[in-house]
Chains A and B, each alone.
Chain A
Amino acid sequence: MYSPEILFAALLNGVMTGAIYALIAVGLTLVYGVLHIINFAHGAILTAAMFAVYGLHAAWRVDPYLALLPLTVGFFVLGYAVQQLIIGPASRGDDGNILLITLGLAIIIENALLAVFRSDTRSVDVPYAFSVVEIGGLLFSLPRLLAVAVVIAVALLLWLFLAYSRTGVAIRAVAKEKIGAELCGIDVARIYAVTFGLGAACLAIAGSLLMPTYLVNPRVGNAFVLVAFTIVVLGGMGSVPGALLGGLFIGVVESFSGLFMGESLGQIGIFLIFILVLLVRPTGLFGAKA
């Protein structure tokens, strides 16, 4: 058995990892909730965001946290354009087609990054990468604690946006009742593009928060996607608060199952919980009734 302080540290580690998972899952769940598609390109877009952070730092020494804002805007535009110019026209609204197109996009992005940056693992060297905060005799990474705060702020902003802004209301309307929303004069194609853009913007933020302590290579995003899928389901597909709580929950579960079962076998913990939740309560732990 581990000492209480180790357990506490594992808990906090789980929260810190889970916060990043949550942000990635928020993007995924938004796109799922509105477009009803499983976006296979999500991981590749995250990789692209991380390379963007790396590239800005390598070329002009732009600090990852400074890069956060412009990249968020840039990736929103990029996501908007991808949905409006590629996914929308090429899929003609068919789910199977969207699946194939996002898969095709993932292959393109991942391998374009491979061709440009090659396969080497890279990281950014910032002075605060090893900064720590001492809590109860334990050391915690400052950049990762910061990430938790930013994720909570982003989730709050997003929730306010969805609840109160005109576009946010329209997004929720399309998510609930697409045809009805269309009849009310909402431009569904534009809402789709905005939603896809928001999903990509979340990934830009996640990339900026990850890079000070993590690393990037052309396949790095894949490591996060599967876990993001499970969080989306746990939180209830389409639910932003669900994704946030689900992310933190999975982060903690992973942390403890890693501690007690080992990192390799610990991964089973996530999937077993996932299967159980699906079988018992398919609307998700935190989701409203579908």
Chain B
Amino acid sequence: MNKWFKSGSPWIWMTGGAVSLSLIAVLGLLLLIAWRGLSYFWPAEVYEWQLRDSSGSESTLIGQLYDREQVPTARLESAGYEFNPYPGEFVTRYLVKTGNREFVGLDFRWVLGTDIVSESLPKDLAVFERTKNGNFYGYPVAVIEDGKRLPADNLRVMLKEHVQRAVDLNDDAMTLQKQDIGSINYELERLRLKERGYELDGELTDTRKTELELARQALNDEYKVLETELFALREAAGRDGVVVRDMRGQEVTLNLSQVLDVTYPNDMGLMTKVGHWFKSVGGFIIDDPREANTEGGVFPAIFGTVFMVMLMAVIVTPFGVIAAIYLHEYAKKGPVTKMIRIAVINLAGVPSIVYGVFGLGFFVYMLGGSLDQLFYPEALPAPTFGSPGVIWSALTLAILTLPVVIVSTEEGLSRIPSAVRQGSLALGATKAETLWRIVIPMASPAIMTGLILAVARAAGEVAPLMLVGVVKLAPTLPIDMNFPFVHLERKFMHLGFHIYDVGFQSPNVEAARPLVYATSFLLVTVIVALNLTAISVRNHLREKFRSLEH
């Protein structure tokens, strides 16, 4: 045994253990996010518990099981609980989501296992997903149409139809408000800026004044028509209601204009549940967030991330590729090249927050501020480009990801056999022609790899964006139907920041946590997929050139 120790074999095992631990950590992390993120969409059963606490008072509790933990009995006893009979050293404690926020105050509640008398899964229990106050749990009793209670036969079908009607009307109202009325407001603002612009230039003549006034009048008239329409739609949507018996045994009327969906999770088969799961995932991706981002979807965040990252890719690619070509094809060995290489390494190593600070000071305040003074004096003192926005975020991240593109492109260039270049030059092509016709096409997969890696890096970066353009809730997307259609100065939402914001800044962290896991999973999936693509492109490339070399 002693000899075995001396041979160092145990230490080899120790190093092996380190690898195993790293692997467990990586895979465990990915699994944890995947599990928590995906189970969020699974329709969980709604329980009905009969409770009796130590003082003997009984109550009913309806809700979804959220979490459970083992608590030492001693700790509970010291906190003032009494147990009779003694339940053992540990008591199970359940965290229950009770919903019905407007009636019970807190929509999460801890319940001791010892208090539970009975537990059931009634098939009639419904979950109402709502636009306000979170979920509602209860038994539907009747549908109210236009103030009249409808006969209760075939309740589920009737309820579904009425909910669908309200949802459709609400959708129409939302479209009207966001698109038509939104564009009128936008036009009005443009008119105001135009007037201010004339005023600043001293060209605000009376004819122009009347022209502007006429245009404004026309828009205001249009606005009034649309507004009436909007109110009509909203009123129509609020026509119906549903009577629900909640866990206190009281009948409560919910207005259907606030209800998004009604489900009966206890009455779902496996296939229905899978169907519902896919529907929820889809909704998560294409819906707007609700209730301070703690409910609903993440569409604006996805859109913002993708748009910003694409903008960044457009900026970073030419610079990165040119720099790599310089380093590999043109630069002579010398102090300048060495300095550039050190610059590249350092650009890759500088903390991202420093880029944020630089971006805020240089791009936003200095460049943006100057742009505002030159081109948008009429909007001042309200900044146009002089405040954080998507273009500045893209620029900042472009510098941040520049080294990624350079390193990857250079690697691709170094894999191209020099015989290929020499052949081209020998046939009389100039260096530029060789570059353009031979080298760059051959290196294009490597450039692609660099680009993908840069995009993956940018998509996950949050710290600099907090300074140069990201917000928790952007009222409008950077692209819309209003001229000039692409608004580079606007602030945007970002998946990574969404995680930070909802997880740490939201008023109801408990309720928001599953959503954060789901968002995390989405982001991780995108980034890991991008990286895997890049790796496979690179490996493919290596194989291809290896065959070329022989």
**Binding partners A and B:** no
A residues apposed to B, CB below 8 Å: none
